[in-house]
Structure formats: C-alpha cells, structure tokens
C-alpha cells in the first residue's frame, strides 16, 4: 500500500481538491493507497474539510495538531502515522504534480528505496526569491556534501527508509536533506512546479530566512567554522597593523591614529558579536534538545 502524507496549513479550499485528485489518479492506476492529511494547527476550516473529504473518499485519514508546529513536524508526524509499504510526501496545494506519483511508485517497484522529486523549474517566483533559494541550497549543499540545488519535499520512500528517519530524534530535523543523507538506493524524478489554484504561499521572506537558518544549523556545524575563519582573519589584520605600527615606531614616523583605532574597535566588536551570536544559536539548540519536548502534539485523529 502507498501512503501519501499531505501537510496542510490553512488549505481549506485545496483539501477536497487534493483528496479527489489523488484518489482519482491512484485508483485509476490500481494502486492501493491511503491519503493522510496532517492539519498543522490551521486557523481556517481545514480540519472540517478533511472531515468532509473522509465522507466522500474512504481512503482519507487525518491528524490534527494542537497548534502550529511547522511543516517539518507535520511531515514526520505523517511518516509515523503512515501504514503503507512506501510513503510519499506531497504538498496540499498540488504544486507538486500528483501524476508523478505513478512514476515514483513504478521506480519503487523496481527496487529503488528513495525517489527524490527534483525541480526543473520553480514556477512563478520573484527574482529575489530565486536568488535567496539558490544561496540557501548552495550553502546547505556545501555544508552537507549532498547536492540539493533543486531539492524539494516531494519524495517517495520505502518503509525501510521511513523507519530509519523515525529513529532520528532531533527536534529540528531537516527532512529534505535527511532523506538524501540516509543513503539507500536512490533515484530522481524531475517535475515542474505547478501554479496554485487557490490561496497564496504561506512563506514570507521572514519565515523563509528563519527556515533557512533553522535548517542550516540543525543539519550542519558549518556556521561554527565561520567563527574560526573570522578569528584567523582578525589574526592577519592584527599582524599587518602590528607590523606597520612597529615600523613606524622604530623609524619615528608614528602619528596619532584616533580614527584608525575607532574603526578597528568597531570592526573587532562586530566580529565578536557575530561570533557570539552564532555560538549562542547552537547553545540554544542544545538547550532545546536537552529539554526533550515532543516535535508535535496531536489533538485528534480521523
């Protein structure tokens, strides 16, 4: 059986469309399936729509969070609740074309255990959003050693891969990268991002920046190396200015350098504050992990 995990946040208009479309495609292909909607603390009528979808499509199941815990938590909740021999993750807005599930499922039947959806286009996105996405995936690819240039959450995983992911207990897990990090027999399926029929993206620039920082720090210690690099940079600057000051002192040409001193203090102070901020962020992550709170809280199920 194929389980399709569908995270949903304020998607009241898309839930019935997604349920009918997915059921039609998978039933038409003769694939036994379940459609598992995860309501990530929606503020609209998303949960009511999931309840109504259950009445028309018996394969629908639903999990409702007590509040909004984020997409990563919704994905991992879906992986835990899924009963299928393989599990696919797909956005409720159907920007991930559901027809590609048939190709992914066929590859799974051939023995592949991780089938990654790879974007060939990003749809209608602003130039700023494309640039930010390119920078983020470039950073995470270098930090992790995994090519994530066009990665997405659209995937199909074998039960073995799902079980391995569920053993990872970190609170800020990055599903998009972890699915590649675990290994197994992997292949790709290319797709073009579709346009939304209703609603707008839930990702603002601020939330995307927070998402990027959260995932880079949760998956890699590369930002910590920035502190070391800044330290070496300051060492070089100190040696250069120290040598200049020493030569001027010996030759008797040393002059007052109030402006230089102020600029150096500002420069050094900025680097110290940035370094402390990076270290503090990782300490905060350690604190959150030590608290060992659950990734999410389920309020009810259908």
Q: In terms of pLDDT, which residue wins out, 253 or 79?
A: 79
Distances (CA, A) of 140 to 131, 145, 176, 177: 14, 8, 11, 8
Residue 265 has pLDDT above 80, yes or no: no
Residue 87's pLDDT band (cuts 50, 70, 90): very high
- Measuring CA to CA, which residue among 172, 187, 12, 25 is closest to residue 92? 12
Residue 234's pLDDT band (cuts 50, 70, 90): confident
Q: Average pLDDT in the 72-87 region?
A: 90
Residue 35 has pLDDT above 90, yes or no: yes
Distances (CA, A) of 187 to 110, 111, 157, 178: 11, 10, 11, 15
Residue 179 has pLDDT above 90, yes or no: no
Total-model pTM: 0.72
Residue 88's pLDDT band (cuts 50, 70, 90): very high
Pairing label, strands 155-158, 114-121: antiparallel
Distances (CA, A) of 296 to 72, 85, 98, 264: 10, 24, 27, 47
Are 15 and 8 in contact, with CB atoms under 8 Å apart?
yes
Interior CA angle at 31 toward 28 and 37, to 5°? Answer: 95
Residue 198 has pLDDT above 80, yes or no: no
Q: Among the listed ranges 102-116, 129-143, 288-302, which one has the minimum average pLDDT value?
A: 129-143
Cα–Cα distance for residue pair 184/207, rounded to 1 Å: 32
The alpha carbon of residue 84 and the mean position of all alpha carbons in its chain are separated, in whole angstroms, by 23
Residue 288: strand pairing partners:
none
Q: Average pLDDT in the 231-235 region?
A: 78
Q: At 99, phi and psi to the nearest 5?
A: -60, -25
- Measuring CA to CA, which residue among 79, 71, 18, 8 is closest to residue 45? 8
The alpha carbon of residue 80 and the mean position of all alpha carbons in its chain are separated, in whole angstroms, by 18
Are 9 and 71 in contact, with CB atoms under 8 Å apart?
yes
Q: What percent of the chain lies above the pLDDT cut of 70?
A: 77
Cα–Cα distance for residue pair 121/280, rounded to 1 Å: 37
Instruction: Strands of 40-168 (E only): list them.
Output: 60-65, 86-89, 114-121, 155-158
Q: Which residue has the tokens 């292949």?
A: 187
Residue 5's pLDDT band (cuts 50, 70, 90): very high
Work out the mean pLDDT of the chain and round it to a whole number.
80
């Amino acid at each position: 059986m194929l389980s399709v995990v569908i995270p949903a946040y304020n998607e009241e208009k898309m839930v019935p469309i997604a349920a009918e479309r997915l059921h039609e495609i998978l039933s038409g292909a003769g694939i036994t399936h379940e459609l598992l909607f995860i309501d990530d603390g929606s503020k609209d009528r998303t949960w009511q729509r999931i309840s109504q979808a259950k009445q028309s499509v018996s394969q629908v199941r639903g999990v409702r969070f007590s509040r909004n815990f984020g997409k990563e938590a919704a994905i991992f909740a879906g992986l835990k609740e899924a009963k299928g021999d393989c599990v696919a993750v797909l956005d409720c807005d159907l920007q991930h074309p559901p027809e590609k599930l048939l190709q992914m499922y066929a590859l799974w039947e051939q023995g592949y255990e991780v089938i990654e959806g790879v974007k060939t286009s990003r749809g209608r996105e602003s130039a700023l959003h494309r640039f930010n996405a390119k920078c983020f995936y470039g950073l995470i690819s270098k930090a992790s050693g995994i090519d994530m240039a066009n990665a997405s959450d659209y995937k199909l995983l074998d039960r073995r891969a799902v079980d391995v992911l569920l053993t990872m207990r970190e609170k800020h897990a990055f599903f998009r990268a972890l699915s590649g990090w675990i290994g197994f027999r992997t292949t790709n399926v290319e797709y073009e991002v579709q346009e939304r029929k209703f609603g707008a993206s839930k990702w603002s620039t601020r939330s995307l920046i927070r998402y990027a920082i959260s995932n880079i720090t949760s998956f890699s210690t590369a930002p910590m190396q920035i502190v070391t690099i800044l330290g070496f940079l300051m060492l070089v600057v100190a040696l250069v200015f120290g040598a200049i000051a020493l030569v001027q002192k010996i030759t008797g040409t040393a002059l007052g350098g109030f402006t230089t001193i102020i600029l150096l203090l500002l420069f050094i102070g900025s680097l110290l504050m940035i370094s402390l901020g990076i270290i503090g962020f990782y300490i905060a992550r350690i604190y959150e992990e030590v608290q060992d709170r659950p990734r999410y809280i389920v309020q009810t199920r259908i």
